[in-house]
Structure 1
């Protein structure tokens, strides 16, 4: 009798897995960095920074015909942060990165509920920020429609960060974390052209119950035909930023061209103009790219819009680059970017400098290695902008890093 029960149980499990798909995979990603001017100019008297941080993730997914469930747990490990004997998560970096369920509603409709990444187009306004070891996520409800080359996403979020404030609807205090969010993204494909429209409102808590509402809207166009590619961004912001600062006339415009010269060489060039603050007290004309993958833009050294450069002179970024396929398993990316202010600094200076970014990647059997080096050639305006005198700054401003990426698939 026990054998019969056991056989029935095994058959039941087999039937369940035949009707569904379970996946279990992970990621082990240590990155070592040498910082001698990353993010800002380093003074000569300061010592360069050097550290290694590992991202460890375990991802589990389960899918049936009617729903999907996905969970991703991660820990961000700074080498040496724990004592040798007494171990603890001293920086509270062990967390649930994603936890969502997606329900199929039929006729192209579905809904996705829970902690998830919101990543659209080139990730300028909304992106997963995968470069950061912690990544970026949102706690949101997403209504989705996709059919015949057309896709529509509508997201809603209402955030709290303090359970102790029961009965208080206004308990979101983290810097620039939104209190509310309403977002609509539409995408339509027309042959070689992909066109998107984004409309988003973010409400930021100023007090109890004060909320400032900031609206961001615009379009992303991506055209590809044969070896030629063109991408355009055009975004505007209005409303009020955190702190009840009125936003008027803020914009972000960009144009990028690409050309695949051969099977081994691709080249590109582009320009991005981001408005700065030309308004009076209590107002601003400065655009801020919000929740995008900002590390991807305006140079890998993160001098602009990565926890800095908000509400200031804006930016004009003119860049050229090339990607070289060195072999079937290795690539080299070279990018040169020239920066200047969209407006003048107090001194009347606009020029900020030039950055060189080099990234080499090599795929091995089951893992990959990525190496990077960046050099900032600062102009007089950069010293003024960052508040470091040229005489006191280090002679060389650079950044180097090495990253190992392993993504094991335990069950697929």
Structure 2
């Protein structure tokens, strides 16, 4: 028996010698305090703001063996106090955020399967949504072809609620099936161009219909994303269209934006931007969906940090125009930003028929101020303050009282140490 054990140890040891291997283990602890006083929507008469602390705790395992790469990310998200100090079990438990295996067939071709993040370009359509403590990942299969200047990704997903034996409604608040293709060409150090095509299928039961009849409607989102950087100037442009069907309704919507930045000094940067997301007139009686949906985008990073638009809200509405200014200042370990936004409706806003009184398209102005500080290696502190100065039109569209002081403040500490690293 002792000889057998020795032989097994030698075999394992020889395999380790033959195959190059790497293992990294990283930890993230990220608590965030928030004071919400008109966050996402205007406060209503008699309502008061609230405060809470949320936390993400993550453990990342990254393993590489020659052409095989594997990643496993476990996480727990919680609100401080959501379980009692003596609770025998956690409310949310431990979830699998990422669990994928990738095989590199050649230096250019690879395939990845499992729970993974789908994030492209500026994350307007497909992103990680890292601001949310839970973030966003997909059960998918992706195939990639990457060269020095060109990248091509294909991906697909097919979702079910369980291992069923008969047709069963998909009750998760997500898509039933997804396919996409993304191509990027970095022409040179200055000019880059991407093109994304995304097809999403959502299951629904038509009415009236037998309970067993389930249909899937497909919506397509597609368009280019362009970046140009030269000297002190950097710009980005995108134009996305949406077509297809959603719950048996035709979709016809679009999104366009332009951003330009200028480095006044090494520390100070000025930026201007404008984004248009199509909407539907408030008294439009047609069944066509004309409101653009940035479907899986990192929407917290767009249209103001107070999340009044497109962060789980403002869908199938009057759309949005967002004109904004960005002021960034970085010095030593500090980063500061000031971003004022002016919001307008992208479609007509009017009182209900028969009055049909047209309202001003101006929705409000939001001021976002943020800071960041690199406290120590693997420790960063970030925070911010935002205030929404809403209009009577915003009251009409979203409810609430614009006369209230609607503001939001937050402070977040992120601790991201590497706790283990091994290479052979």
The answer, yes or no, to whether TM exceeds 0.5 is yes
Deviations 1:170-196 (A, max 9, x none): 532223x11111100000011111100
Q: Tell me, yes or no, if structure 1 residue 195 matches structure 2 residue 232.
A: no
Q: CA deviation at 1:93?
A: 5.3
Moved more, 78-87 or 327-336: 78-87
Structure 2: how far apart are the matches of 1:12 and 1:56? 37
Judged with a 3 Å threshold, the aligned counterparts in structure 2 of structure 1 residues 312 and 25 are, in CA distance, closer, same or farther, namely same
- The answer on whether the counterparts of 2:41 and 2:399 sit within 8 Å (CA) in structure 1 is no
Q: Tell me, yes or no, if structure 1 residue 352 matches structure 2 residue 363.
A: yes
Q: CA deviation at 1:6?
A: 9.5
Q: 1:408 aligns with which of 404, 409, 417?
A: 417
TM-score computed with the length of structure 1 as normaliser: 0.93
Judged with a 3 Å threshold, the aligned counterparts in structure 2 of structure 1 residues 198 and 66 are, in CA distance, closer, same or farther, namely same
Q: CA deviation at 1:225?
A: 0.8
SS in 1 for 2:24: strand
- The answer on whether the counterparts of 1:162 and 1:171 sit within 8 Å (CA) in structure 2 is no
Map 1:279-358 to 2 at 5 A. Answer: 280-325=285-330, 327-346=331-350, 347-358=358-369
Structure 2: how far apart are the matches of 1:30 and 1:87? 22
Judged with a 3 Å threshold, the aligned counterparts in structure 2 of structure 1 residues 319 and 104 are, in CA distance, closer, same or farther, namely same
Q: Which residue of 1 aligns with 2:280?
A: 277
Structure 1: how far apart are the matches of 2:409 and 2:324? 20
Deviations 1:249-307 (A, max 9, x none): x1000000001111110110010001002454321211100001000000000000011
Judged with a 3 Å threshold, the aligned counterparts in structure 2 of structure 1 residues 4 and 158 are, in CA distance, closer, same or farther, namely closer
- The answer on whether the counterparts of 1:274 and 1:314 sit within 8 Å (CA) in structure 2 is yes
Q: Which residue of 2 aligns with 1:15?
A: 17
Q: Tell me, yes or no, if structure 1 residue 166 matches structure 2 residue 165.
A: yes
SS in 1 for 2:300: helix
Deviations 1:282-340 (A, max 9, x none): 21211100001000000000000011100111100000011101x31111011010000
SS in 2 for 1:284: coil
Judged with a 3 Å threshold, the aligned counterparts in structure 2 of structure 1 residues 389 and 322 are, in CA distance, closer, same or farther, namely closer
- The answer on whether the counterparts of 2:236 and 2:259 sit within 8 Å (CA) in structure 1 is yes
Number of residue pairs matched by the alignment: 401
Structure 1: how far apart are the matches of 2:15 and 2:133? 37
Structure 1: how far apart are the matches of 2:248 and 2:126? 23
Q: Which residue of 2 aligns with 1:383?
A: 395
- The answer on whether the counterparts of 2:370 and 2:385 sit within 8 Å (CA) in structure 1 is yes
Deviations 1:339-363 (A, max 9, x none): 0001121142210010000111001
SS in 2 for 1:132: coil
Q: Which residue of 2 aligns with 1:234?
A: 239
SS in 1 for 2:172: coil
Q: Tell me, yes or no, if structure 1 residue 245 matches structure 2 residue 249.
A: yes
Q: Tell me, yes or no, if structure 1 residue 150 matches structure 2 residue 150.
A: yes
- The answer on whether the counterparts of 1:217 and 1:236 sit within 8 Å (CA) in structure 2 is yes
Structure 1: how far apart are the matches of 2:412 and 2:37? 18
Judged with a 3 Å threshold, the aligned counterparts in structure 2 of structure 1 residues 107 and 402 are, in CA distance, closer, same or farther, namely closer
Structure 1: how far apart are the matches of 2:344 and 2:409? 24
SS in 2 for 1:262: coil
- The answer on whether the counterparts of 2:45 and 2:400 sit within 8 Å (CA) in structure 1 is no
Q: CA deviation at 1:12?
A: 4.0
SS in 1 for 2:251: strand
Q: Which residue of 2 aligns with 1:131?
A: 131
- Structure 2 unaligned segments of length 5 or more: list them: 206-212, 351-357
Q: Tell me, yes or no, if structure 1 residue 361 matches structure 2 residue 372.
A: yes
Judged with a 3 Å threshold, the aligned counterparts in structure 2 of structure 1 residues 29 and 167 are, in CA distance, closer, same or farther, namely same
Cα RMSD (Å) of the superposition? 1.8
TM-score computed with the length of structure 2 as normaliser: 0.91
SS in 2 for 1:106: coil
Q: Which runs of 4+ in 1 moved over 3 A?
A: 1-14, 278-281
- The answer on whether the counterparts of 2:42 and 2:401 sit within 8 Å (CA) in structure 1 is no
